[in-house]
Amino acid sequence: MKKRVGIEALAVAVPRRYVDIEDLARARGVDPAKFTAGLGAKEMAVNDPGEDSVSLAATAAARLIQQQGVDTSKLGMLVVGTETGVDHSKPIASHVHGLLKLPRAMRTFDSQHACYGGTAGLMAAVEWIASGAGAGRSALVVCTDIARYGLKTAGEPTQGGGAVALLVSETPDLLAVDVGLNGVSTADVYDFWRPVGRREALVDGHYSITCYLDAMAGAYRGWRERALEQGLVRWDSKLPSEQLARILYHVPFCKMARKAHAQVRLCDLEDSGNGPATPEARDEAAKSQPSYDAQVAKSLGLNARVGNVYTASLYLALAGQLHAEGAALAGQRIGLLSYGSGSCAEFFSGIVGEKAAERMARADLDTVLAKRERVSVEEYERLMNLPYDAPEAIAPEPGTFRLAEIHEFRRKYAGA
Ligand code: CAA
């Protein structure tokens, strides 16, 4: 029998402050409806220099181990997916490994390809276990990022930050991945990038949306071809994409998930052979509100309150989806679409586990979000203007890590 492999449990860490998106809109002289209805945002996580990609990753991983009672002696791999690394050489994974006092006999590395780096790490872990090379050991995959475009830029309302830690094993209580069913699509494009030495990302915003949709169409069609071959979906009265209980997307801002879902449907409608006859009618059918409501809307609860988390954003959608409907989805197949600028997209699928609701209850996501403090736009701007290498001396909350200082280019962390 083929091994069952996938995500056993997850944990989320977010910065301790957020700004209300309507406050930000008003401060920028923008109609708040543009940020709420137009982009789908409600709140945006705001980090200070003490909450960097390392401290968020270590906090999420420590929380996962503590909440789920993970036996760390059974871990054989630690991968950190990030596009906001803190050193050109020393990986975030080595910091996390040290802060959590994990076993020496582990493979540790960072994985980078913009927002796709976390999925690349997840697939490395899944395939390591599925191949048998893991010899029964589990892997920790941590997606961590701080999305930063800068004050008064077009990307400003699509910032955010946080980390999602995933335990990957042969006991996939959250999601048993359909190993080998992945569809991928790569293109060499300049849609979003962050040159060495810059804190803020550069982005060609509208072009980046086109690149995302183009790449995901290729990735979805690749997945669908394999799923059709294996009889997991069919050309039927229901479109192949409608045969997935839910579809989760990379969420740079929530409205993007709606656009992505319409694109997946358009692929099916164009390829079905008996769909609407004209391009206009196909576009209309692709934008189906009932389909979006049934298959996508419930996954966005956390993303709307945290903002973009780059590598972690798809896994924040997974957390939001299983937090909302873990019990109802048990035993059902869902689809997941990861996109990283530059670019690479991957569509994959999996079956939600019977214990998903129980595992998600332990992740205690309501408390994680409720503990945050709402700050004014003035305070958000003050935090954004702080130098990255001089963190304020704030005691870490119990169970969390903070960057304490950078001395001779060496980072020191406190907490947990
Ligand atoms: N009421 C309601 N809706 C309104 C409105 C109002 N008063 N005013 C505008 N809108 C709507 C617009 O119609 C538009 O909706 P549609 O896209 O459905 O037409 C939406 O609000 C946004 O308006 P604009 O396109 O005019 O906004 P903008 O030009 O200021 O920028 C953006 C939007 C390009 C997303 C920008 O925020 C940005 O550059 N963000 C960063 C890049 C990004 O997130 N790219 C996503 C793909 S790349 C990726 O996914 C990787 C990654 O993580 C970065």
Digit-coded pLDDT (tens) for 38-95: 999 999 999 999 999 999 999 999 999 999 999 999 999 999 999 999 999 999 999 9
Q: Is the pLDDT of residue 1 over 80?
A: no
Q: Is residue 235 included in any domain, yes or no?
A: yes
Q: What angle do CA 161, 57, 62 make, to 5 degrees?
A: 130
Given the residues 8, 43, 83, 346, select the one marked as catalytic.
83
Among 15, 113, 34, which Cα is nearest to 380's?
A: 15
d(CA 142, CA 121): 8
d(CA 349, CA 336): 6
d(CA 355, CA 351): 12
Give 274's pLDDT tier (boundaries 50, 70, 90): confident
* Nearest atom within ligand 1 for CA of residue 340: 51
d(CA 311, CA 145): 7
Residue nearest to atom 38 of ligand 1 (CA): 155
Digit-coded pLDDT (tens) for 85-130: 999 999 999 999 999 999 999 999 999 999 999 999 999 999 999 9
Digit-coded pLDDT (tens) for 133-147: 999 999 999 999 999
Classify 73 as helix, strand or coil.
helix
Q: How far is the CA of 39 from the centre of ligand 1 (A)?
A: 6
Does residue 53's CB lie within 6 angstroms of at least one atom of ligand 1? no
Do 41 and 157 contact (CB within 8 A), yes or no? yes
Q: Is residue 379 included in any domain, yes or no?
A: yes
211 belongs to the catalytic site = no
Do 180 and 204 contact (CB within 8 A), yes or no? no
Given the residues 8, 113, 115, 325, select the one marked as catalytic.
115
Does residue 210's CB lie within 6 angstroms of at least one atom of ligand 1? no
Domains in the chain, number:
1
Q: Would you say the ipTM is above 0.95?
A: yes
Does residue 251's CB lie within 6 angstroms of at least one atom of ligand 1? no
Amino acid at position 374, single letter? R
Classify 316 as helix, strand or coil.
helix
d(CA 282, CA 266): 7
Q: Give the pLDDT of residue 89.
A: 97
Q: Which two tokens stand for residue 216?
A: 């995901």
Do 234 and 227 contact (CB within 8 A), yes or no? no
Residue 310 has what DSSP assignment? Answer: G
Q: What single string gives the DSSP state of each residue in 278-307?
A: SHHHHHHHHT-HHHHHHHTGGGGTTHHHH-
115 belongs to the catalytic site = yes
Q: 151, 203, 289: which to mutate for ligand 1, most atoms within 8 A of CB? A: 203
Do 7 and 166 contact (CB within 8 A), yes or no? yes
Burial of 226 (0-12, 13-18, 19+ CB in 10 A): middle
- Domain with 256 in it: 6-415
Q: Give the pLDDT of residue 324.
A: 98
| Backbone conformation region of residue 228, classed left if phi is above 0, alpha if psi is from -120 to 50, else beta | alpha
Does residue 84's CB lie within 6 angstroms of at least one atom of ligand 1? no
Does residue 308's CB lie within 6 angstroms of at least one atom of ligand 1? yes
All residues at 6 or more sequence positions from 247 whose CB lies less than 8 Å from its CB, including other chains: 241, 261, 264, 295, 296, 334, 335, 336, 337
Does residue 116's CB lie within 6 angstroms of at least one atom of ligand 1? no
Q: Is residue 64 included in any domain, yes or no?
A: yes
Q: Is residue 277 included in any domain, yes or no?
A: yes
d(CA 122, CA 81): 9
Does residue 176's CB lie within 6 angstroms of at least one atom of ligand 1? no
Q: Give the pLDDT of residue 416.
A: 87
Q: 22, 30, 35, 39: which to mutate for ligand 1, most atoms within 8 A of CB? A: 39
Q: Is residue 144 included in any domain, yes or no?
A: yes
Q: How far is the CA of 388 from the centre of ligand 1 (A)?
A: 28
Q: Is residue 280 included in any domain, yes or no?
A: yes
Quick one: average pLDDT of 29-34?
A: 98
CA distances from 248 to 133, 364, 402 (A): 29, 21, 31
Quick one: average pLDDT of 32-36?
A: 98
Q: How far is the CA of 206 from the centre of ligand 1 (A)?
A: 7
CATH number of the domain that residue 364 is part of? 3.40.47.10
Amino acid at position 207, single letter? Y
Among 52, 104, 96, 53, which Cα is nearest to 76's?
A: 104
Q: Which two tokens stand for residue 135?
A: 């010899």
Give 273's pLDDT tier (boundaries 50, 70, 90): confident
Give 2's pLDDT tier (boundaries 50, 70, 90): low
Does residue 115's CB lie within 6 angstroms of at least one atom of ligand 1? yes
Digit-coded pLDDT (tens) for 161-218: 999 999 999 999 999 999 999 999 999 999 999 999 999 999 999 999 999 999 999 9
Does residue 348's CB lie within 6 angstroms of at least one atom of ligand 1? no
- Rounded to two decimals, the pTM is 0.98
Half-sphere exposure of 401 (CA within 13 A, CB side): 24
Q: Is residue 1 included in any domain, yes or no?
A: no
Quick one: average pLDDT of 232-237?
A: 96
Q: How far is the CA of 33 from the centre of ligand 1 (A)?
A: 12
Handedness of CA 48, 198, 93, 110 (dihedral sign): positive
Q: Give the pLDDT of residue 390.
A: 87
Amino acid at position 124, single letter? A
Q: How confident is the prediction for the chain on average, in pLDDT?
A: 97
